[in-house]
Amino acid sequence: MMRLSRTALVMGTVLCLADSNWGQADGQKLFESRCYSCHNIGGGDKQGPDLKGLTDRRTSEWIGEFTKSPVTMKGKDPVAAELFQKYSPTIMPDQSLTPEELAALIALIKDLSTKNEMFVPAGAKLARDIVPDDIPAGQRLFTGQVRLANGAAACNSCHSVDGTGALGGGTLGPDLTAANVKYRDPELITILQNPNFPTMNTIFKDRKLTDEEVVQVFAYLQHLKQTNPEARVVPTQPAATIEPRFLILGFGVTTLALIGMNLMWRKRSHGVRKQLVRRSKI
């Protein structure tokens, strides 16, 4: 009897541990296989909303009911209706998750949100090791000196980094000097492989970086962290922000152009003016 009780206790412990491990490991697998194509956790909206902080905004019951039948929720819940309107025409299909699977996904979302971390799929690895030549090659790709193979715009069309010249890069996106401070290596690799931010998603949808370009641009961004150890994460500037360098440059170029035009055409109609002056003295 005593041996039977001991066996039952051991089996119960094993089952509990197995259940715990399932929740942690398979939550990652489930999200990558079932959710990551449309959702992120901490990486920005995709076809569906970023789920970071979802467990703080909605109850587990709400999440479970929405996941089971989004269309049904749309008809009876104003938040669900608002989500449908925002992400139209994409419609989330019904998901047949077991209670354990749903619990694992909710646990994953809550865990990453609490840690302020981004979901990183298992495939977030470089195609090869970085070599020293990758840094200047990555800089040339970033600044557009070398075109990206699939025709996407160069990084500095929207972003800037320290040392890109007096005019810097674009201001549509944030300065990336501290990109390696803001993101862990796997997260940054994931962003380069599959840009998921709304604007980048559109630009790179059919023009993704090649594996080789990912290695080189990543090497360059990683190098920036080493050469700018004090760099801080700079948020994206509001669209209405005025960039003083361009304002001053524009004023200077316009002034020089007017001076040049005046010098070039200073003798225009000279003969006519000369006759008018002579007649005025008669």
Digit-coded pLDDT (tens) for 169-212:
787 888 899 888 877 788 788 889 887 676 787 788 889 999 99
Instruction: Give the CA distances from residue 125 to residues 34, 65, 191, 212, in Å, rounded to whole numbers and listed in that order.
Output: 20, 35, 11, 12
Mean pLDDT over the full length of the chain: 81
Question: 175 with 234: CB under 8 angstroms?
Answer: yes
Q: Which of 14-23, 54-63, 159-168 has the lowest mean pLDDT?
A: 14-23
Question: How far is it between the farthest Cα atoms of the chain?
Answer: 138
With contact defined as beta carbons under 8 Å apart, do 108 and 41 qualify? yes
pLDDT digits (tens, 9 = 90+) for 230-264: 887 766 555 555 666 667 778 888 888 988 888 88
User: How large is the average pLDDT for residues 86-102?
Assistant: 87
Max avg pLDDT among 119-128, 216-225, 253-262: 216-225
pLDDT band at 81 (very low <50, low <70, confident <90, very high): very high
Sequence-separated (6 or more) residues with CB below 8 Å from residue 201: 46, 195
Tokens 């070599």 sit at which residue? 131
Please give the pLDDT value at position 175: 86
Global confidence as pTM: 0.59
Which segments of the chain are extended strands (E)?
A: none
CB 90 within 8 A of CB 48: yes
CA 180/CA 225 separation, integer angstroms: 6
Higher local confidence (pLDDT), 75 or 225 = 75
Which stretch of DSSP H or E encloses residue 52?
none
